[in-house]
Chains A and B, each alone.
Chain A
Amino acid sequence: MTQEELFKIAEKWFREQGWKPFPFQKKTWKAFLGGKNGLLNAPTGSGKTYALWFPIVLHYINQNPSYRTSHKKGLKAVWITPLRALSQEIRQSAERIIKDLDLPLTVGIRTGDTSTKERSQQRKTMPDLLITTPESLQLLLATKGYDKMFKDCNAIVVDEWHELLGTKRGVQMELALSRIKTLSANLRIWGISATIGNLEEARQVLLGPESLAFQNSVLIRAELNKKIHVISIIPAEIETFPWRGHLGLRLLDRVIPIIKKSKTTLLFTNTRSQCEIWFQKILEKYPELAGEMAMHHGSINKDTRIWVEEAIRNEELKAVVCTSSLDLGVDFAPVETVIQIGGPKGVARFMQRAGRSGHRPGKESVIYFLPTHAIELVEASALQQAVVKQAVEDRMPYLNSFDVLVQYLTTLAVSDGFIPAEIYREIKSSFCYQGITMDEWRWLLNFIVLGSQSLQTYDEYKKVEIADDGRFVVHNRGVAMRHRFQIGTIVGDANLTVRYQKGGYIGSIEEYFISKLTPGDVFTFAGRNLEFIRIKEMQALVRNSNKKTSKVPSWMGGRLTLSAQMSQLLREELYSARLHPDQQSDSIRALAPIFERQERESLVPGPDELLIETFKTSDGYHHIFYPFEGRFVHEAMGSLLGYRISLLSPITFSLAFNDYGFELLSDKEIDIQAVIDNDLFSTSYMLEDLQKSLNSTEMARRKFRDIAVISGMVFTGYPKKGVKMKHLQSSSQLLFEVFRDFEPDNLLFLQAFRETFEHQLEEGRLRLALERISRQEIVWKACKNPTPFSFPIITDRLREKLSSEKLADRIKRMTALLMK
């Protein structure tokens, strides 16, 4: 069949649905059928699924003209989704085409939720079209004879590629693709990504930077140009609006009229705890909304979540309070309005959330921004600018993630074994490992076979072995079984399942929260008040309670940072405080009383100024710096400056930071003049100093936890059997210490530091920020009291420690404090 004829099949189908294909869909069909690989840039709910399912199906028709009489079974295409919750939707759209076109193709799903029975069924006969996750794809590579499985696979689609790109799951994907490219002679690789700053790079990462696959690829942009209307909710009385906080409940009443006048409203919160609180408070104040309102976040059980999603589609809900759990996925047409509570910490995310509303053609998306404290209004204003300029963030891909490579090599050893030379060629062509050296490669091979770099007496290390034919294989069944369980461990805090004592799953919760409860305590979870009874294995047993409580579990989701572009927009908005009100945005104008007070007590800095404030409270001496560069850069700059100050004289700090600035809090006063005179913001020796700063070790220690799990050095226990997470936690800490003391040149240990500098401290951005500061005038204000700007920072309880004093001296002073 010609392409024209194939297109006609698709266009006819669209006509029958009463639709018309978008230009980007046709472009994608054409490129795919022309044998190209590519990256499709299209937002959620734009019809991207049909942009790729169709050419896959058309290609099949073309290759198998007599499919009605003779259909050859076996895997033809794989669709990768980062969220298994989305797999049903993707399946439905595929099945719809297959049914309407009356094709003999089968569609299967393989994720962590797939039953053992179905899995083994699939192993015998793979479905023609398989929908799966990156982890489950890795697990397929851990299956004997996987090469035959992929032999006739001619398409792999990686959906929501932007979600995977800056993560280690993305690296897993790169590795799997590098393997399947070799196995399948006629493979097309396609990614689908929402708009991010580095789309071109995203395509390189997907296909391999200098690969043939990349040379034979295209980037297609949907260019739907959806209008987004951003409205800030400005508090009526800014004078009494809180200076700090992250909940935003003060403006709850303002949300109600918005909910009432639109069909369905999504309220996006930043953390699950915030989500729980908002849901409960709205119901308390407006009980009439009961039954028309629901909650959706990642810890609520799956059935409830699916019910909520269905209810949105059927227009049964007026409002849903949710978290990023509703960021992805298929359309909810009835959603008319979106409210973002608190800073979304990302333009791309904000725009994507806005895009959840007004899906009908020609309608604009409406998003309200609800600030949780006064200074956040500056962010509101910056967001408006960012949306206009489409200033979205980059997703920074990982480089040389040795932990993921160790896992991958073990995976290959578990299934059919591997020949190093062959695999080296493949991984070397991937983006992540393009810079790997032969020495590093040899080191890794030694590591998986010997558990060290040389054979030692008395050693009992057991993992990968070298077979007589030179293949690297795993013979030991225990090793293989533990490894299979380990793949797909998404590292996070240990989670406990929450269940009623009488039975009935409610959701999962972080161990950290439960560990603070004593039996009898009441907490809010999944919209209910629950009394904690006890922990049994990895379950928290509870019963319903009528008692009121203020305890709401907190999740780590709160720690997000601003992007570089967003930080810049934020600074520009802040500087506009000095302009004439006519030149200001509504939010900035509304902040006038706060700016006045800040100016009276200290200063509202302009573009050429770096503000430093100092004052004393009962907590000690506060030293606050305002670079307005985002949380991560502040964390880095704080440790750097802390280290350099500590060289002037022995001192101990704790470090707090947010998106606006950072604080060094100490029991001694810092001589700020000396900081200025000694040019402590200099970029020279930046990296060396950062490495020496004490909390870089602390940060690396946390990074190491993931590395230790991914590389299989700590075993997380068997899922659902709930064993040994506690064991893992202590031992990854311990492992870090033994590596530090006995094997500091271990590549996986060093990786923890590299990740800290590249991903946590954003070395590159830090350097730019310091260069900017070197062109600014440093203004030091010695204040009497905490200023409006300082308030959100000094009340932050998440702190890092830095010290250059001898332990004994510190202990002596701490003891003195105890005895007073």
Chain B
Amino acid sequence: MRAAYTPIEHRVRGLSDKAIAWLFIAPTMILLLAINLFPLIWTIQLSFTNYRANRPNAPLRNVGLDHYQTILSDPEIWQRMQATAHFVFWTILLQTVIGFALAYLIDRKFRGHGFWTTLILIPMMLSPAVVGNFWTFLYQPQIGLFNYVVSFFTGLAPSSFQMLGDVTLSPWAIIIVDTWMWTPYVMLICLAGLRSIPDYIYEAAEVDRASNWRQFISITLPMCLPFIMLAVLFRGIENFKMFDMVNLLTSGGPGSTTELASITLKRAAFEAWRTGYSSALAIILFVAVFGLANIYVKALNKVKAR
């Protein structure tokens, strides 16, 4: 910006608005085309080949839609999708219920609510990888704080259960950490929703002698719904792509009980080096996220229009 002070300024003085518009937008678009769209197109192209990134000189063969067929008919992939769906469903449910409840309580405007709100927000600002890493410490069977607290309240021996090593517990271990981290996010959006409801509506309801419960059901909830849905949309997309936190916590294990879609993708792409196959999987995942998000945005707009 500063360069415009120099004689260059005189040359651009005559620039039309249209020229400025393109000059301002072009760099961003070029960067996105180079680092987002071009890789996407390359991924599509690779997904039709048997390319392996660790053997760049091997003869390249066009395999057509084989990878897509293999993936979509592979029961293991569907198991991974189920694990992902389980994770997405429970995290969203827990975060929405707890987040909304917290927002509702904070909106009672007790003294010092601003301070406590800020404190509650801290977990969601942290690095998911670092969070995942330090929760592995809390989840240690003998020495971990989590196991200690559970045993303190239930009397179970702290080394009798392994949150990260047990097939039935590990899917819940990652749900607990994600809920700890992202409930504040849902809470913050719900809080905005609650605060967007004008007081006069409640006053009118009060005049009509509507009970508190009645007010909650027919004013608070419906008016907050677009906000709740927005939070669900963002969390849904993010958790469908979830990689960093879970990779650090369980890296998909034990076995493949917590192997979410992104972790499968990473294993195929960067451990098995099946680049062509993993490109096809990446495209399928992208289409799924994109499709779901689009359907959801349409629903969201309908709710908003009401």
Are A and B bound to each other?
A: no
Residue numbers of B with Cβ under 8 A of A are none
